[in-house]
Chains A and B, each alone.
Chain A
């Protein structure tokens, strides 16, 4: 067993890291909710929550207290076990999957390498996609456990949507996997560092003004992946699960108080996974525009002249770089939600099965052919 650690020290460190990532995720949700409410107000030319505290930031605390003190309500005809289990389970896939995303270069303390990620897993992508696909169960459990028709219909819609778009999601990143030749997220980020360069037909092409990011190789893959993640996290323009006019509020119609908030955290968790994966696959992960970590380290070393401090600085700079990209994608998620209207259900299924899936397949085939041709035929 290498993934969880062999010694007690490693196991303790890994456990603490998992807890830290989970807390990080949960703590980010109130801020995102605030951003979403203020952002939507900004987009719709109104004020949003601005009364409690500076810029309305303490509103989150007030909301949390309200959620905690609400009556603990369960529908009489529902299934109580399922009803209470679903919101708890909603947190697990999001937290576990997010922990696998690398957030910075490893920190070396003595002879121990401290990874800035929950845990390193060999097949990062497959693992994350698998774990986040389990979210469909929590939705189904909530819908069925509520014992209401609206909840069940909302749950069936949401899970059908998640399953349909999972295919397009999986296929859209096959091009990226072919390109980097690995499933491992850290190795993918390594492949995207430095300036734009690739070799074709035995020649090497390089451009010093562009970073070596995945988006410049796989633009179509990026668009497909990003759209599919919107559908996966059940947000507008794909929030068919919550079509208020037809289904009240979808699978969480019967939920109130803190249980409702837990579903919220799960949904935002999926947004965070999607943003983290976008950064990792197509925007170089934690790497900084045009610079390799070694160059950043050398720059830090030149600045402070101490190996230890330069090391820590390097880690912090890359962590910031990752989080800036992460925040930009989260903002795009929020902005899109308040910009686009919702699809009709048949349009949603058409888009998933008849548009995105063929395009993703085509992208895969073209990428495979290009990679084969450019590496097999060498013109000398």
Chain B
């Protein structure tokens, strides 16, 4: 077993376990922390595929900023109340069944795709990707973002701005934090 293979299985195991823990944990704070763990281990898998910039951005943006905000908000909630509201009821039951369906579909898809690249080392995968014109250097990424797809990228930025403005507008609509009810 080479270092490459060991590293892959190790990281894959951590990713899958922490991913499962996100769904199976009853306490939402544990779930959120496990989700952060999943993101970090996915970033580590990116590093083994030599996609360094993507790994760094994954950690900074998702694990370092977005999930921290999630955890912060969760810690301010009254968790016991939330727990009961989400584990009872017919609508939640339907949601659970639907998500089981989606999950099994994802597993089947992952196995099918995984079989086509099984048995190849990460170096082979990287060189195959490089031969196919995929460049994951930071320069290649920025050229794709800022030269080829600049309008799509800007449109996404505007969309995010719309979302931010919409959130503020919604939260202020009924008096916001100063609401008297």
B14 contacts the other chain (Cβ, under 8 Å)? no
Q: How many residues of A contact B (CB 8 A)?
A: 32
B176 contacts the other chain (Cβ, under 8 Å)? no
Give CA–CA (A129, B58) in the complex, Å: 12
Interface pair B60/A123, CB less than 8 Å apart: no
Give CA–CA (A166, B64) in the complex, Å: 9
Give CA–CA (A88, B60) in the complex, Å: 21
On whether A126 and B7 interact (CB within 8 A), knowing A140-B72, A170-B60, the answer reads no
Of the candidates A1, A5, A127, the one having the most CB atoms from chain B within 10 angstroms of its own CB is A1
- Chain B residues lying within 8 Å of A166, measured Cβ to Cβ, are 60, 64-65
Query: How far is the CB of A361 from the nearest CB of chain B, in Å?
Result: 15
Query: How far is the CB of A172 from the nearest CB of chain B, in Å?
Result: 15
- Chain A residues lying within 8 Å of B122, measured Cβ to Cβ, are 1
A117 contacts the other chain (Cβ, under 8 Å)? no
A274 contacts the other chain (Cβ, under 8 Å)? no
On whether A134 and B7 interact (CB within 8 A), knowing A126-B57, A156-B72, A183-B138, the answer reads no
A163 contacts the other chain (Cβ, under 8 Å)? yes
On whether A134 and B40 interact (CB within 8 A), knowing A1-B48, A6-B3, A127-B56, the answer reads yes
Contacting residues of chain A (1-35) with chain B, CB-CB under 8 angstroms: 1-6, 11
Query: How far is the CB of A36 from the nearest CB of chain B, in Å?
Result: 28
Query: Chain B: residues with CB nearer than 8 A to chain A?
Result: 3-4, 7, 29, 33, 36, 40, 43, 47-48, 50, 52-53, 55-60, 63-65, 68-69, 71-72, 75-76, 122-123, 138
Contacting residues of chain A (156-185) with chain B, CB-CB under 8 angstroms: 156, 159-160, 163, 166, 170, 183
Interface pair B3/A123, CB less than 8 Å apart: no
| Residue in contact with A137 in the complex, picked from B43, B71, B76, CB distance below 8 Å | B71
Query: How far is the CB of A307 from the nearest CB of chain B, in Å?
Result: 33
Query: Chain A: residues with CB nearer than 8 A to chain B?
Result: 1-6, 11, 121-123, 126-127, 129-131, 133-134, 136-137, 140-141, 143-144, 152, 155-156, 159-160, 163, 166, 170, 183
Listed from nearest, the 5 A-B pairs whose CB atoms lie closest are: A126-B56, A133-B64, A130-B59, A122-B52, A130-B60
User: Which of chain A's residues has its CB closest to B69's CB?
Assistant: A163
Give CA–CA (A109, B122) in the complex, Å: 30
On whether A137 and B68 interact (CB within 8 A), knowing A1-B3, A127-B56, A183-B53, the answer reads yes
- Chain B residues lying within 8 Å of A152, measured Cβ to Cβ, are 75
